[in-house]
Structure formats: C-alpha cells, structure tokens
Chains A and B, each alone.
Chain A
Amino acid sequence: MRTPFYELHKSLGAKIIDFHGWEMPLEYSGIIAEHGCVRNFVGLFDVSHMGRYQITGTDAFEVVQNLITNDISKLDDNRGLYSPMCNEEGGIIDDIIVFRLAGESFLVVVNASNRQKDLQWILEHAKSANVEDVSENISLLALQGPHAQQMLQKAVEFDLSQLKSFGIVDTKIFGADCKISRTGYTGEDGFEIFCDSARPEIWTRLMQAGTEFGLKPAGLGARDTLRLEAGLMLYGNDIDESTTPFEAPLKWTVRLEKDFIGKTALLNKKPARKLVGFEVAEKRIARHSNHVIINGEKAGFVTSGSFSPTLKKSIGLCYVPPDVAIDQMIGICIGAKIYNAKICHTRFYKRN
C-alpha cells in the first residue's frame, strides 16, 4: 500500500521500506541528520499509514469511554488524549489518540499495524454509534520540532499560539480545509495535519515554506529514534496484547474510577514485570528480543534498542521483574556476548 505522498518521497531520494504492508520512507538524508533536524529545527513526516476513524452518534461517548482506559468525561470539544485500548484480559489491543470534535463526535488515530484489528474491535463494541473509516480520504502529516509553530503559521489561518498541546482545530492550510492538532511522537513541540488526500501538493508547499526554517523531510527511522529518546511506546515492540498498561509505564492513562473493557482483569492481576529504560555501557546496539541477564539468569527481554543521536549512547527499553531498581546493573545478550547496561527511566530526553 502507498500513501498519497509516495511519489514525492521517491523523488526526494527516500529509502523505501515495507512497514506492515506500507511502502514508507525509512530515511532521506540519513537517520541521524533527520533526527537532529527535528530536535533543533523542524522535520516533516508522512504518517498517513496510520488509521483514522470517526465515531459519531448518540452512543459515541459511551462507546469510546468503554473502549479506552483513559477518561474522556472531562475532555472538552476540540481536545484529545492518549490512551491504551485493552481487551477483556487487560492486554493492550492498541495505543491510540482520541480527539473529541464535539459532544458525541470523536476522531481516533490508531497504529498502522493495527488498522484492521482495531476497526473490527471498535465495530464489535459500537452499539448504535456510527463508525467511519476516514483513513483513505484524509491523509496525515506530522510537522515536528522547535520551529514547527513559526513555520506552520505561514501556511495556516488559525493563530497556532492559541492551540494547546492535544488541542485540535478546523482551519485551512494553503487555503484547503484541514484539521490541525498539537500532537506528535517525537518529544518535541509539533503538529499533525489532517488534510485532503486529493491534495498531495500540501507536502511540496510545506517543504518550500520550510526552507528558511531548516526543514527536512524525516522518515520512519528518525521517527523511531525520536520516540525512543522521548520514552514513547511503540506498539508491537514495547507493548502488545500480552502486556498491560500497568506493566508498561502507562499507569497514568488508566482511570479506575470509570468502567472500561479490561478493568476487572487489571484490578485482579498483579504485574509480573515492568518496562524500564537502559543504557548500554559499550557502543553495541541492543535489539528487540535480546535477553536481559540478572545474576546469571535470563530475567527479561529487550523491546526496543537503538543509538540515541542526542545522547550519543546505546539506549533501549526492556521488561524486567518488578523489583529491579533504577541504576541497577544488568546484562544484555547481544549476539554471542553479554554487555553491561544500567537501568534508567524510560524517558531519556525531555525538551527544555
């Protein structure tokens, strides 16, 4: 599958990879250069492979509230939040962003890898609410970095200084209708632009508008290193249906004062492991599913590992027993050797 911007990525010399059936740009100028550009200037990502569903109608509020662990009861119109969506066992079906567009109208953004599964799950629990897959008609771009607001203001009518984190607004970009939210997956300030799939020239015009702000196109490679530094979960790597929000560092998204699918299981199940960060003492890079060794025994596994371009260190996330403490030394099996690593928080980078 291809997004409406595929030919533009090719013409920019992107290295294209298969990502859950999508032909997506991995990198253009190089992962480290693109990563640095987002941390210091601004980067443009095509994230149209993610799923977008609208849930509307009289039951919409109740349906969404039941589907997710976080609480939308205090969510004003044009505001969004991050939440896991769990199965009856408390396992994470997906982690999603929910925007409340109006009282009984919601827009949810889901992971590319889970589009079909999520849609089916939502439909099974939709009661009389109307669920519409708008992924085809609306494409999604992410503009991320400290210069994002200043740059995007040149293209949109709405005063972006009035858009708060996790807010969403209807406006125009280069004269075309769109929604813009102040959200992202990089640890930087930034925006996501929901625009008409029939207008791929929006990408080109943003690239032109970004020249004076140091804009670079950025691919999935930089997206992964950026989100890992920021301690953001990657579905399929760090979390999946075998993990709960209490094992992952997502307790803050679980609102036990309300009802939701999986609540009973979460209340009755004591977490047997927890997700933590680690820094490898040497420069070797840990990879997904490498074993964690504590006192000579296998005690967990790596879920994400990479080089941190900002910290210039080998970092990662792993599941370990709940009693493992920050600063504790562990071993990580990489290839045939065990490398020393130190446990740390899952967030490696926080912007000023």
Chain B
Amino acid sequence: MAALNKHIHLRVNGVSHALEVPANMLLVELLRQRLRLTGTHVGCDTCQCGACTVHLDGRAVKSCALFAVQADGCRVCTIEGIGGPGGLHPMQEAFRDCHALQCGFCTPGMIMRAIDLVERSDGLDEQAVREGLEGNLCRCTGYHNIIKAVLQGQEAMEADDD
C-alpha cells in the first residue's frame, strides 16, 4: 500500500525545503517527523484541540487538518519561527509574564492562534479573545491567565507596531 509520493516546495520558518512526501502525509506530520519541529503538538485526532496550530501564509491553521501537499508553495511559520530564547515574540513574553501556561502542551498552538487573532482584529476585548480561542483547548489553566496574556500580548504587539 505504498502511498503516492509528491514533490513539494515550501518555506518553513524562513528556510526553503524541497521535499518528497507521501500524498496522505499531514502537514503536522511533515513538521514534527520530517523537519523535527516538535514544538507543534498533536492533542487529538478530530481537529478540535488546536495544539497543532501554525501559520500558513500568515494565517493560523490547524496543521492536522491539512495535507503536507496543500502547503506546497506556501510559507509556514511554527512556534520555533516566532521567537527564540534570544528574542521572544511579545505574545510569548506575555504568556510567560501572565503564567498563561502550566504543562505547556497547548501553549505553542495557543500562542500561534493568539498572534493571528490579534493581527486580524482591531482591539480585542476579553469576550472576543474567549471566542477567538474557542478552537484551542487547555486543560490546565482554566483559560483565566491565557486571556490575560493575549490581552497583554495584544497591547505589546500594538506598541511594537507604533
């Protein structure tokens, strides 16, 4: 049952890759298994938890809900591409500052979703953040501090833009 292989080109975190992938390989499998970008997590098998959220051409997507071949020609950004220990993204900083993570498993997906949410809105309030994060599950925090972090991250992102 050899899966059909396809050639794809994509940029991941600014690095170009030319890859041959099985047609049925999910984008998250490509990221985690082939590119060893293990910051993107898999928490479910029904596209509900959002732990696998990455940016595809600047938009948050669940990378378990796309085939790798669908990212052909696209820019992918994962949590590793957002910021590292030497230079954190304001949203990463806000998550740490607000204690918006405990076990950390949902965190990369939450941050990726939160950044996209802020970038595509003008001024989110608490309710808008809660609704905007509906597709990302967290079992540790009760969301309380995640909401605080996204609002704080939003402020910091806006300040950066000024």
Q: Do A and B bind each other?
A: no
